Every structure is written in structure tokens, then in C-alpha cells.
Amino acid sequence: MGWLQSIQEKMLLKYLLWKGRTSRIRAYLQAKKPVKAEPLLPGKARVAAVQGELVLIGDPLQYADLMYQAVHEAVSRGAQLVAFPEDNATHLVGMLPGLTGGKDVSQLVAELGEEVKVADIFNYLTPVTKQVYFAVFSELSALFGVFIMAGSIVVAGDNGKTVNEAYLFGPDGSIIGRQQKLHLLPLEEEWGLSCGNHLSVYDTPVGKLAFPICMDATYFETFRIAAAKGAQTIIIPTANPDQYNFWKELRGIWPRVQESAVFGIKSSMVGNVMGLTLTGRSGIFAPLELTPNKDGILAQAETYDRPEVVVADLDYQMLQEYRQDNLFTNYLNTELCRRYLPQLY
């Protein structure tokens, strides 16, 4: 009866693609009344970090509305760049039948069979996930006239491997950048995901941007490479499957910003879904001397478990002056670094 199951799977996928068709999503979003972003000032940008809640969604229009509300709030507060969290289309797993009743990930996979991995579920849904994600954020970035780092999605990659990948959209709705996650959590390896091995920096009117993903901020090298390639702002979308712990959080973006003399934006996914508890405190960070309280924080979410939008201003002229005058960067022993890291230095 394998042929029957195959037909059923194909028919379900066709139905989900039809339900999430681009024309339907665009018509829905175009019926709304977005605000337009403020004009950019030379050397400055107002940025927003979206702290989103992961909920399972059965209709792509619900997903479109959830993303619309976050962008609308950010742009209403003056944001010209909006950053979303990691796993920012996992909501759409809710389109699959049988996910109600509080099943967790391990139960779901066990019911599908021993040979099935979580990655197989994401691979199956990839045509739907990409179609909806691209339609939503292409339309939103164009409607509001802003840059959107839309958070990451878990999909079947070009090489046949399952990857965690984020995309950057321009104010005309086009895709202007992409980045695969470079360091995996043990849980992601268990699920069958693969990591990328290339770190990109994109030169945009809102700054030179890099957007490695979650675990990538654990390692100093990620930020150092991005800064050496010219990044001024490094965005970190996260979805931390753990109870909130201030000290664990410190291993991430805050010290990396201080070490590398860049601005940092952290967008966290929160919520309780399919047996996973996601926590994180979104924020916008800068070198100590460039923050009002000399604490490295330009703005930060008040909670670690509820949806919020955090907004702050970045001044790239101030960052450039800080880099020129900063003892730590100016007195780096580049001879030593060049000896062991010749391609970077």
C-alpha cells in the first residue's frame, strides 16, 4: 500500500500549496493599511528586534497577519530595519493534520516510524514553508518600505541537506541576502539538520549587515570574521529551547558586541509548543561607551517569555569614531593573528 500513501502525501502537499498560494497572501496583506517607513538619515538607522511567539498555525493568512502586526508596530515606532527570530516559519507545521492534542516532537516522530527524523517533516513542508515565507516577507517589506531580516526557516537546502537559513528582504520586496546557521545545537543534530560554512556581509543603506543564527553567537570567531569582513551591525535571530537563565544568555551577543566593536540586534522566539519551552530576551546592543548607561544596552525587552518589539537608533558615525579611538581594536596583535589566521588578516 506504499503507492497509496505516496498519492495521499502528494495530494496533501498540493492542498497545502494551494492554501498558501502567493496570490492569496498578497491580496490579504494588500487589503491592510500599512504605515510607511521614515526616510533614512545619512549614517543612521532605527532598527527593531521582534520578540515573537511560536504558535502552531493552520492557515497561512493567520501567519501573514501575525508577521504584519509585528512589522506594523516596528515601523509605527520609526524602524527602517526589522529583525525577526530564528525558526520564524515553524508556525506553519500547524498546517499538518494530527498535531493537536498536545503532542510533543518526540511523540510525533515516534508515531511516524523509527526511520523518520524531524528533518523529514521540515523537508516535506519545504515547498509550502518557502512559498508562504517568501510571499509574506516580500509583500511586507514592499508595503512598509523597510528592510526585513525575516528570521530563519528550517528547509531542505540546495544540496539536499536540511538547513536552518535566514533571508534579508529589501524595501522593494526583493531578497538581498541569505545566511545558513553555522553552528548547530545538539538537538538540531539529533533532528538531522546540517550546518553551513559561509558567512556573508551585506552592504545596505541601513548599514553593513551580517545575520548569523542563534548558536553562532556563542563563538567569538563568528563575530570577529563578520567584523573583519566589514560588518557594522550583526543580527542574531534565536530560538533557545531552554528555561531562561541570565548567565547562559551572557555567552551570546552582549560580549561578542564588546569584543568586536559592532552594533548587535538579538531577536528571540518565545513560547511553549510541542514539548519545547522557548525563552530569550531580545535587545539592541552597542559598545559600552555608545550606550546611555554605559552598560552596552541600547534597548531591551522587558520579558523573556512574551511577545514584544524593541526599537533603538544606530549611529554609524559614532561607531566609526569609537573604532578609531578604541584601545582594544587598535592594539590587537595583528601579526600574531595573521600568522594563524592568514585569510582573515
Q: Cα separation of 342 and 23, whole Å?
A: 49
Residue 116 CB neighbour total at 10 angstroms: 15
Q: CA-based Rg of the chain, rounded to a whole angstrom?
A: 20
Q: For residue range 136-175, what is the model confidence (pLDDT) as tens digits?
A: 999 999 999 999 999 999 999 888 899 999 999 999 999 9
Q: For residue range 7-49, what is the model confidence (pLDDT) as tens digits?
A: 678 899 999 999 999 999 999 999 998 898 889 999 999 999 9
Listed range (56-65, 111-120, 206-215, 258-267) with the worst mean pLDDT: 111-120
Q: What is the pLDDT of residue 341?
A: 86
How far are the Cα atoms of 44, 47, 152 from residue 38, in angstroms, in the given order? 12, 12, 26
pLDDT band at 1 (very low <50, low <70, confident <90, very high): very low
Over residues 295-312, the mean pLDDT reads 97
Over residues 291-320, the mean pLDDT reads 97
Sign of CA dihedral 171, 183, 67, 20: positive
- Residue 225 pLDDT greater than 50, yes or no: yes
- Residue 78 pLDDT greater than 80, yes or no: yes
Q: Specify which residues 169 forms β-bridges with.
A: 148, 175
Q: What percent of the chain has pLDDT over 90?
A: 75
Which of residues 118 and 108 earns the better pLDDT score? Answer: 118
List domains and CATH numbers for the chain: 2-340 (3.60.110.10)
Q: For residue range 238-278, what is the model confidence (pLDDT) as tens digits?
A: 999 989 988 888 789 999 999 999 999 999 999 998 888 99
Q: What is the pLDDT of residue 345?
A: 81
C-alpha torsion angle, residues 322, 328, 331, 337 (rounded to 10): -120
Over residues 200-210, the mean pLDDT reads 98
- Helix segments in the chain, DSSP class H: 2-19, 22-30, 60-76, 105-112, 118-144, 186-191, 220-228, 246-249, 253-260, 316-325, 327-330, 334-340
- Residue 103 pLDDT greater than 80, yes or no: no
Q: Cα separation of 194 and 188, whole Å?
A: 8
Q: Cα separation of 221 and 216, whole Å?
A: 9
Listed range (153-162, 298-307, 327-336) with the worst mean pLDDT: 327-336
What contacts 338, CB < 8 A, 6 or more positions away? 345
- Residue 109 pLDDT greater than 70, yes or no: no
